[in-house]
A = this chain, B = another copy of it.
């Protein structure tokens, strides 16, 4: 059942009473969301109907945001949880060079969750949806036996045959990353070290309000600059390994070239390890043939060359003395307490 947030078909009767109030609130908030011309409004039907334009492929991605795994209620403001929930999906669309169209939110909530938490969560999510003209087109709700569970699905589109896959990297291609790395993991390290100390979200923007690199990704696709692309959700060492595996190649990166995030107050630069393995930065990693001129920034986001693709297998990390060591994927394991 698609309980269309903008339609009148949310199923009130089949829900326990507190949940009805909740749905009413979600619908009220969703009215601030502008529907796209690709989706007839007020659908309120068994399915959402989407008009994907001809000569486009559809993109689909789905991501969990689970309390205790992806966020903590006492560490993350509800607006941040909502924002990050949607960013996870939008970032996957960006990594294909695509354009998001619609989001579907499945939300299971504990019976004793304050209404205000949901209101603030939806505000964070909808602000981001509106910014990128994504229609919140439906979803499902349920009472959770334990903890908050969100599952976000984003549907996007890309001109037919223009999707940038992970499998297109070729020996000799340059490797690039957008923005700076490790800024999100640094916040986690800080929170884990001092669980009772609140940190200011503004000092760690890439953790609390990561911006999906949609415009940059779309431009790379449109100008056919990238041969392969992935978003940095699990960490550079893991995500680059994915590109290498999918493309059947190896890679060599320079430790001194990795753009490390500056975070905190007072500002400090994250350690190399955090930039190499820290996840959830939602920057993009892409490869491009040697002859392609890659701008130093696109859509206001800096782009840094960090190495190149080579034959064979594995990732070689070159230190400042040009000595190489094997870089094992040590991707982000979602934090737990």
Residues of A within 8 A of B (CB): 1-2, 8-9, 11, 13-16, 44-52, 54, 57-64, 66-70, 88, 91-93, 95-96, 98, 102, 104, 106, 108, 137-147, 149, 151, 153, 155-156, 158, 160, 163, 165-167, 229-231, 233-235, 238, 241-242, 245-246, 279, 329-334
A interface SS class: mixed
Pair B69/A48 contact, Cβ less than 8 Å: no
Q: Which 6 A-B pairs have the closest CB atoms?
A: A146-B146, A46-B95, A47-B59, A13-B331, A46-B92, A14-B331
Copies of this chain in the oligomer = 2
CB distance from A145 to the nearest CB of B (A): 5
B-chain residues with CB within 8 Å of residue A331 when the two chains form the complex: 11, 13-14
**CA distance in complex: A75, B49 (Å):** 35
Question: Contacts A47-B96, A102-B60, A108-B149 known; A14 to B332 CB distance under 8 Å?
Answer: yes
B-chain residues with CB within 8 Å of residue A234 when the two chains form the complex: 1, 11, 13-14
Interface contacts beyond A16-B333, A46-B61, A47-B163: sample of 9 additional A-B pairs, CB < 8 Å, sorted by A: A2-B61, A13-B238, A46-B92, A46-B229, A47-B95, A48-B60, A64-B108, A64-B142, A106-B106
